[in-house]
Structure 1
Amino acid sequence: MASLSTTRDEVFSSLAKIRKKVRKRRSTKKGHNVSAMKSLPNDLLLEVIAKVATNSFDDLCRIRQTCKEFNEAGQEDYIFQHVSIEKLPLFPLRKRKRFSELMRRCQKCGNAEALYRQGVLDLFSLRNRYEFESGFECLEKATAKGHIEATYLYGVFLTCVGGEAKQQGLQSLCSLNGKDLSESRERFMTFIQSMWVNNVLVRKILAYNDRVKACSQCGNLQNNFVTKRGWDDVYDEGDNLNGCGSCKMNREVNIFCDRLRSSTYVNSL
């Protein structure tokens, strides 16, 4: 499949050219006019629609309204695998049934964002109590697809599990740059603040914050990364800190734990 990085304007421009050619070019079969659109390879139709869908779900809806062929092709699993749903809320205020159906379809088709969201819900939502195994599997699948936020949460989770899993978790976190780390952390906190949290897993994760005080690779103490902010001790998020890569990722997990503690305090049961 071709790259899905074509811009929105370029895609709609190419669509306009296709439509223009279709109007001019008609083939006749047994006395009936057959739309040239129907003669286009299905792979080409899917690729055009997929490029539009990766921009936003709204753009997918619009392109499906342009003609019958696009509408039919826009219902293929490949489209729901690639459609961008990042701008959709975690919990919609209306049309919840249709929204749930959309999320299930995207998840079934292997959409990375849908898998990430389901992983967060299964692991942390009180509604999905004790769905830890399925939640972890969803995170694992989304991480394998290169989803940045899933890679972050997956890395944090494995690091907090400890043992042999910790090194794999640190490696996952090391694959992300500073911007990815901070944005992934804050997006997760936005999600967690919108739900009633199952504190069973939260307590286990926060226990890591109290247990691990030194880097597992170089032995650097985590207290070296702590600074004063008012009355509180907080982990410095600056880049100009001494320590190895694993050392800084341990610090990131501690920052995550601090933010998780403050973000779940009001919503905890």
Structure 2
Amino acid sequence: MRHNRRLRWAAVPIAATLSLVLAGCTQAQLNGFLPGFIEGEAPATNHTERVSGLWVTSWIVLLVVGVVTWGLTIWAVVAYRRRKGQTGLPVQLRYNMPIEVFYTVVPLILVLGFFAFTARDQQVIEARFAEDDVDVKIEAIAKQWAWDFNYVNEDVYTPGIQAQLDDEGPAGSVKQDELPTLVLPVGANVEIALESRDVIHSFWVVDFLYKKDMFPGKTNYMSFVPEREGTYAGKCAELCGEYHSLMLFNVEVVSQAEYDDYIEELRDSGYEGQLSTEYDRNQNLPGTGAPELIEEHEGE
């Protein structure tokens, strides 16, 4: 009885401490220290919180499973250790139906739960906007080792070059002002068509907590709403050759007025029109149509 009372008194300060710690969590801590969040400001995109929620909840569940597993392991080691004077092996149990049902059913529930929540969130994140709801259409074209961006509705483009090392800065730093830059208006429904000119690449904006592969001959899409102005670092997330590490770009989210001014600057600089597939390295990709028949001519 006295032992139980001591346990209750010990649990009170532990519970109070945990409550205070959780109540004092910052925005970064609540979101698992993931990028894309700034205290007191909107997340980077309309999908950022959803991705963060799935990630943090998964880790909490896995941590609970880990604590239970570690606890049972330590308990078994201590409770069934060899005592002084003991010889031989303890009684061996061949079957324990409740335990076997437990370690079969619980992992099955966890796997099905992870699958269900992942499928639910993925369906929302992968959903494309209706054609009439798209405010800004971008065609992002990956190439070894840079990026080209077509602003489809505005009929302008920006050609990109590989990141250039900055000899005057710290070792390994690059010239930020020469990186390919994708400019987007805040609060707009953005759809990006992802293309590749040569090999497999991957379009990754770190703070967006999302990336998608780019395959030669296939178009993938990303649909999202940028919700906070700022500059976000992007990179290729698929090993694509010798200078993969220098395949960098930036995304600048600006006001609608700044976006309109930027588009006019591109037009005034002569970047009118669209960069097309004529610059693709792969010109022999397999098609999906029937082969054309070559007519035989008499006398040849």
TM superposition score normalised by structure 1 = 0.23
Rg larger for: 2
Higher strand share: 2
Kindly indicate whether structure 1 or structure 2 has the higher relative contact order, using CA contacts under 8 Å at least 6 residues apart.
2
How high is the TM-score relative to the length of structure 2?
Answer: 0.22
The structure with the largest helix share of the pair is 1
